[in-house]
Structure 1
Amino acid sequence: MSPLRRSTRLWSSAVTAALALSLAGAGQASAADVNNAKNAGFESGLSNWTCSAGSGTTVSSPVHGGSAALKAAPAGQDDAQCAQTVAVKPNSTYSLSAWVQGGYAFLGVTGTGTTDVSTWTPDSSSWKQLTTSFTTGAATTSVTVYTHGWYGQAAYYADDVSVLGPDGGGGGDPAPTVPATPSGLAVSGTTSSSVSLSWTAVSGATGYNVYRNGTKVTAVTGASATVTGLAAATSYSFQVTATNSAGESAKSAAVTGTTATSGTGGGTSLPKHAVTGYWQNFNNGATVQKLSDVSAQYDIIAVAFADATSTPGAVSFTLDSAGLGGYTVDQFKADIAAKHAAGKKVVVSVGGQNGTVSVSDSASATNFANSVYSLMQTYGFDGVDIDLENGLNPTYMSQALRSLSAKAGASLVITMAPQTIDMQSTSAGYFQTALNVKDILTVVNTQYYNSGSMLGCDGKVYSQGSVDFLTALACIQLEGGLSPSQVGLGLPASTSAAGSGYVSPTVVNNALDCLTKGTNCGSFKPSKTYPDLRGAMTWSTNWDAAAGGSWSGSVGPHVHALP
């Protein structure tokens, strides 16, 4: 949220062209093939690997397999290349693969004696496998395998590199064996239509299959999964297996999960059309407010922000009494109760531009859920707002939110405030998370500012600050699987509230009309209307107050008067 926001990266056509590498097809391995890479899982640190400009290190989280992975951080003049010389046989075909996560990541090979190949992927918030193949020349006995990122961009992670093919004689990691049967399978949360599961990760596993009543229903890479599309108040039997390139393990012991009875969830006690406003727990030049000062036009008030603690995944909240003119915790709690009495919801927001809460495994997911639930009990918060701008893991954030839902019940309010780039594709981590928890999600208020030009759902590029930008980008979510009641338009309350992207309340209202009624559109007009669109959000109630309440005074009544 501005001014704690960072700007979205803007790519020039030159950079885009530089990234447009061709992908080579993967070859088939034979039974006698081995992984010729050494220290392929980085379990021995950077042994056998050389990273440019000291860019590489090993980390214990996130990892794809084993207990370690590579983390490499590009700089402005360095792409964080980490390479290894691998012994190979002449005139032989090899399958090259690696699991990557984080920023732009590349995998390739040079010195093949034939055609050198490479493959790449854009930013990824979860592990993704890169695969290609190459053939060695008649005199080739070694090749250089490498990973790298992109200049000045986010760090990338790599794990479980494989150069699978005939034994080059240089030694390497042992060929994989079928992984052990998973243990510790347990039900971590339920709703009326889903059951969430978790289990103990298996060494050497690259994925897991989940079975419901004996039938495979999903495959995942992490040690948790949510099975959706279930009937309410019904018991199901679940098992899980571990997989890798060598095969699939036996099924685990079964557990029974029983879905909840049908009921309300995702903040359905809110009005059909709602206005969300962020309240600042700090003084940055905007009007300092108590919660009692927040305009009654706001239906959901997101308290910004909870902070990360030293415990992975856990968050805490401390009222900035000094910065807020002596506002006491008791007054704060009483004001939350008063907002409840007025029919409003108050949630605690996690993140902001500088928020570094990391939910990247089952333990941190549990810590997140437990800590947020504790804050709800302490202060009276109705739920949580996810405003993480430094990436999130959809598998484990979804697990955390479902665990929180199991604790808090059907009245839990879950909101999100992703940046525009985070909702450009259903494959993005934020979008995946929203879809994963769709049955318990209240609203996604995408920030349509600080973002430059973006693609709309019609494939055309739109510049921020226009009706078309708001409607054509919201269309991506509306057509991408979210319910219209889960889509909101996020805008700054004044020119001081964001670096760019402010539009007048009239433009916000026109976009709302275009999406709900098909009127007041710009050049883009959606193929249908969405009368159940949830509403709008602003950063922040404080900047709104500093501007005389012009945003809430105009957008608020308009939202509440929508059909």
Structure 2
Amino acid sequence: MRKLGVALGAILVSLFSLFGGAAAHAATGRHVILYYQTQYDNGQYVSPLDLTSHQTGTTDVVVGAVHLDSNSVVHLNDDPPDSARYTQMWTDLHAMQQQGVRVSAMVGGAAQGSFQRLDTDFATYYPLLRDLVRTYGLDGVDLDVEESMSLTGLERVIDALRADFGSGFIVTLAPVATELSGGGGLSGIDYDALYRDKGDEISWFNAQLYCGWGSLNSTADYDAIISHGVVPASKVVAGTLTNPANCGSGYVDLNTLKSTLGQLVQSYPDFAGVDGWEYFNSLPGGTSAPWQWAAEVSSVL
């Protein structure tokens, strides 16, 4: 296992210093976000470039998943971020940034350990995350806390990202929907307290309305978040599945999803938008044309 390559990092820093930061200042509005974790499908590279070449209206791509592993090692899925298997991916994501699409890194998710390490050994593990952002010219970080972490520890990470990267940097979180509507979830974090403390520093939440934590087959679960009265609609992106194969439950067919999104647009003029988990097999196009999902939901927003 290797740490981030110094030589590659130096090259990418020089490239991204020219282009990477500009997308962070793109015009605000409703988000159309794709999570991009499966970069290889049956051994074949899955490029995200169709999202821009087909003018789908995608605003953000969240590449994942970043893991801060033991012995101060960073992985993107199962490999170091500077692995040759990711060279084309970073090139493609950089090209999308030039087209105005913002690129964030998803940290954590179902794999355990990253946030426990940030919580208990911040001085060792936060610099690894900071250096990843700098090396690859990322526009943001998506903190997907699906393990136990203290509120103090999470707020420390948010504060450090803001201090290092400024107000234009995207800092998002990806709680399950019930964590934003007053119920429990996967992290033990009190999201009401987090928003009261750090709401101004959080760009938005990519709320998981799937896998048993909510649904977009109607507006009810999104409405529950807003009626809870803590986080406004302008900071709640509705997360959904793009394919039933991507989780055990919670997939909403595209026609129903578009109807729900249309109702949310009508109900909440400042509705923040939608994100899809995940890109590579998004319906209706499937693996041959996954970009179609983004185009379809953009037409509603």
- Report the TM-score range of the alignment, normalised by the length of the smaller protein: 0.7 to 0.9
SS in 2 for 1:541: coil
Relative distance call for 1:270 and 1:417 in structure 2 (3 A) is: farther
Relative distance call for 1:387 and 1:362 in structure 2 (3 A) is: closer
TM-superposed deviation, 1:406? 0.2
TM-superposed deviation, 1:515? 2.7
CA distance in 2, matches of 1:410, 1:341: 20
Partner residue, 1:459: none
Q: 2:131 aligns with which of 371, 374, 385?
A: 374
Q: 1:472 aligns with which of 216, 223, 232?
A: 223
Q: Does 1:433 align with 2:194?
A: yes
TM-superposed deviation, 1:404? 1.5
1:58-115 deviation digits (Å, cap 9, x = unpaired): xxxxxxxxxxxxxxxxxxxxxxxxxxxxxxxxxxxxxxxxxxxxxxxxxxxxxxxxxx
Partner residue, 2:298: 556
Relative distance call for 1:470 and 1:315 in structure 2 (3 A) is: farther
- TM-score normalised by L of structure 2: 0.76
TM-superposed deviation, 1:315? 6.7
Amino acid in the other structure paired with 1:557: S
Q: Does 1:498 align with 2:247?
A: yes
Relative to total residues, which structure has the larger helix share, 1 or 2?
A: 2
Partner residue, 2:46: 289
State whether residues 289 and 542 of structure 1, in contact with CA within 8 Å, keep that contact through their aligned partners in structure 2: yes
CA distance in 1, matches of 2:44, 2:229: 38
Relative to total residues, which structure has the larger strand share, 1 or 2?
A: 1
SS in 2 for 1:472: helix
Relative distance call for 1:355 and 1:402 in structure 2 (3 A) is: same
Partner residue, 2:145: 388
Relative distance call for 1:392 and 1:270 in structure 2 (3 A) is: farther
Partner residue, 1:507: 256
Partner residue, 1:103: none
Amino acid in the other structure paired with 2:276: T
State whether residues 315 and 372 of structure 1, in contact with CA within 8 Å, keep that contact through their aligned partners in structure 2: no
SS in 2 for 1:370: helix
State whether residues 360 and 397 of structure 1, in contact with CA within 8 Å, keep that contact through their aligned partners in structure 2: no
Q: Does 1:546 align with 2:286?
A: yes
Relative distance call for 1:280 and 1:358 in structure 2 (3 A) is: closer
SS in 1 for 2:121: helix
Partner residue, 1:240: none
Relative distance call for 1:423 and 1:483 in structure 2 (3 A) is: closer
What aligned pairs does 1:7-406 form with structure 2 within 5 A after superposition?
A: 269-283=26-40, 288-295=45-52, 296-310=56-70, 316-318=74-76, 327-329=85-87, 331-359=88-116, 364-406=121-163
1:324-347 deviation digits (Å, cap 9, x = unpaired): xx7442x33332321221111111
Partner residue, 2:13: none
State whether residues 119 and 150 of structure 2, in contact with CA within 8 Å, keep that contact through their aligned partners in structure 1: no
CA distance in 2, matches of 1:419, 1:465: 13
SS in 1 for 2:34: strand
Tell which structure's C-alpha radius of gyration is larger.
Answer: 1
Relative distance call for 1:310 and 1:449 in structure 2 (3 A) is: same
CA distance in 2, matches of 1:372, 1:358: 11
Partner residue, 1:131: none
SS in 2 for 1:466: coil
State whether residues 447 and 491 of structure 1, in contact with CA within 8 Å, keep that contact through their aligned partners in structure 2: yes
Q: 2:176 aligns with which of 419, 443, 457?
A: 419
State whether residues 119 and 153 of structure 2, in contact with CA within 8 Å, keep that contact through their aligned partners in structure 1: yes
CA distance in 1, matches of 2:134, 2:104: 12
Q: Percent identity?
A: 21
Partner residue, 2:237: 488
Q: Which runs of 5+ in 2 are unaligned?
A: 1-23
Relative distance call for 1:445 and 1:430 in structure 2 (3 A) is: farther
- TM-score normalised by L of structure 1: 0.43
1:325-383 deviation digits (Å, cap 9, x = unpaired): x7442x33332321221111111111121232134777633444322210111111112
Bigger RCO of structures 1 and 2 (CA < 8 A, at least 6 apart)? 2
SS in 1 for 2:115: coil
Number of residue pairs matched by the alignment: 265
SS in 1 for 2:106: strand
CA distance in 1, matches of 2:79, 2:154: 31
